[in-house]
Amino acid sequence: MNDLWLIKIGEISLKKGNRAYFERMLKENIHKKVQRYTSETGVMAKVSSRRGRYYLETGIPEKDVIKILESTPGIVGFSRAYKVKKTLEDLAEISISIASECLSAGIGGRFKFEVRRTDKSLPLDSYGYARELGGVLLEALPELTVDVRNPDFIIKVELREAGYVYQMQKKGTGGLPVGTAGRGVLLLSGGIDSPVAGYLMSKRGLKLTAVHFHTPPYTSPEAHDKVVRLAAIIAPWCQGLTLYSVPFTECQLKINQSVHPSTTTLHTRSCMMQIAEHIAKKRRCAALVTGESLGQVASQTLESLAFTNGSVPIPVFRPLIGMDKEEIVVLARKIGTFETAIEPFEDCCTLFSPEKPVTRPDVMAERLVYEDIKGLDNLIEKAAEEALIYNFDELGKAVKN
């Protein structure tokens, strides 16, 4: 049997002229995800929309539907819904069954009805339906009480072309549908921060490509594998993700030979940004995204950020800029990247970072030093060309190139 899910949008509904575009993108994103699932399992799924509401009719198991919808930006909430005839008997029957489920799940016995009636031809108004259905429920299940101020559960009834009854209101991730804000390149390290930065920008509608820099043999295959796994974990939030894995050793060694030891991290960052920008051009991306947060480490002071910012002509988005580590960790746990991110494999930045890094670089002077590094331009192009590509689909599964 197929279940019916009702999906609600938030910010999209505030859009005026181009609301239809945002709605179409969201529908397409949900459709692609469920289609990916159904093409693998043969289960049926149909997405439809009517007046700013979306309906998913499917045989996909509940836990998988929840996973799919929770990780789709643009959705603010969703519920398992029951479509019934608009008669009091039918509405009452399904309400009793929902309330019994709530009781046996131990949610508590205080309830209220919320009724929305758009079908004006019906014999009662919204309040009338709430009163009648409430009465039936109290009679059928005496352990229940009505509490309109502080209910343990709310049964929602919508009376439109059919009757829809639902209770479980799952929270979605909110934001805007992926792809509605253009395309960007995420600099993805193996740490806690950058996967969260990717999640936050996906939530603003940016379609991401990830780029990782690794420095073999100084960095291990395990460190690399960890980043590949992180990319797979965030792929559903990104509506699928391509990861470029860039061999960075030659650039890193060239920088280390050419600049003052206290400034290596700074120049390394600039170099990463420039390689990322090369890849951005190739992928038609118009912005970079990093997991930097103001003052977190020496390379993230105002002066250091001003320096790295100046290395590329496109905007660099830093969605974590005003967040502290605890706030970032909460999000990393929510999207499921935390446990992987804290695995103890060193990435290139940690290995090559100076003991005493500058915190307030002279931006102009360091720019001249950077531009004077002989042969770096060629190495940057070569590194971008030699990147290996990994693809993950909308459900986070690896796809063969």
Chain residues binding ligand ATP by CB under 6 A are 187-189, 191-194, 212-213, 272, 290-292, 296-297, 299, 347-349
> Least CB distance from residue 210 to ligand ATP, whole Å?
8
> Least CB distance from residue 236 to ligand ATP, whole Å?
19
If the CB atoms of residues 122 and 297 are measured against ligand ATP, the closer one turns out to be 297
Spatial contact of 171 and 206, defined as CB atoms under 8 Å apart: no
Q: How far is CA 354 from CA 194, 195, 205, 310, in A?
A: 21, 25, 37, 22
Q: Figure out which of the listed residues 73, 163, 179, 191 binds Mg ion, where binding follows CB under 5 A.
A: 191
Cα–Cα nearest to 86, from 6, 172, 2, 158: 158
Q: Which stretch binds Mg ion (CB under 5 A): 85-93, 101-109, 142-150, 189-197?
A: 189-197
The closest residue (CB) to Mg ion is: 191
If the CB atoms of residues 155 and 272 are measured against ligand ATP, the closer one turns out to be 272
The closest residue (CB) to ligand ATP is: 191
Instruction: Name the binder of 194 from Mg ion, ligand ATP, none, CB < 5-8 A by kind.
Output: ligand ATP
Q: Pull the structure tokens for residue 236.
A: 């559903």
Q: Which helix (H) or strand (E) holds 245?
A: strand 241-247
If the CB atoms of residues 240 and 291 are measured against Mg ion, the closer one turns out to be 291
Q: Pull the structure tokens for residue 52.
A: 């700013």
CA 80 to CA 166: how far, in whole Å?
6
If the CB atoms of residues 163 and 191 are measured against Mg ion, the closer one turns out to be 191
Instruction: Name the binder of 188 from ligand ATP, Mg ion, none, CB < 5-8 A by kind.
Output: ligand ATP
Instruction: Name the binder of 219 from Mg ion, ligand ATP, none, CB < 5-8 A by kind.
Output: none
If the CB atoms of residues 234 and 349 are measured against ligand ATP, the closer one turns out to be 349
Specify the length of the chain in residues: 401
If the CB atoms of residues 37 and 213 are measured against Mg ion, the closer one turns out to be 213
Q: Pull the structure tokens for residue 330.
A: 């909460």
User: How big, in percent rounded to 5, are the helix, strand and coil portions of the chain?
Assistant: 45, 20, 35
Q: In 208-260, where does DSSP find H-type helix?
A: 221-234, 249-258
Instruction: Name the binder of 252 from ligand ATP, Mg ion, none, CB < 5-8 A by kind.
Output: none
CA 397 to CA 34: how far, in whole Å?
14
Spatial contact of 204 and 237, defined as CB atoms under 8 Å apart: no
Q: Figure out which of the listed residues 29, 71, 167, 189 binds Mg ion, where binding follows CB under 5 A.
A: 189
CA 68 to mean position of chain CA atoms: 11
Instruction: Name the binder of 192 from ligand ATP, Mg ion, none, CB < 5-8 A by kind.
Output: ligand ATP
Site string (138-177) toward Mg ion, x via CB under 5 A = ----------------------------------------
Q: How far is CA 241 from CA 4, 28, 84, 177, 295, in A?
A: 29, 16, 39, 15, 29
> Least CB distance from residue 234 to Mg ion, whole Å?
15
Whole-number CA gyration radius for the chain: 26
> Least CB distance from residue 278 to ligand ATP, whole Å?
14
Binding-site ranges for Mg ion (CB under 5 A): 189, 191
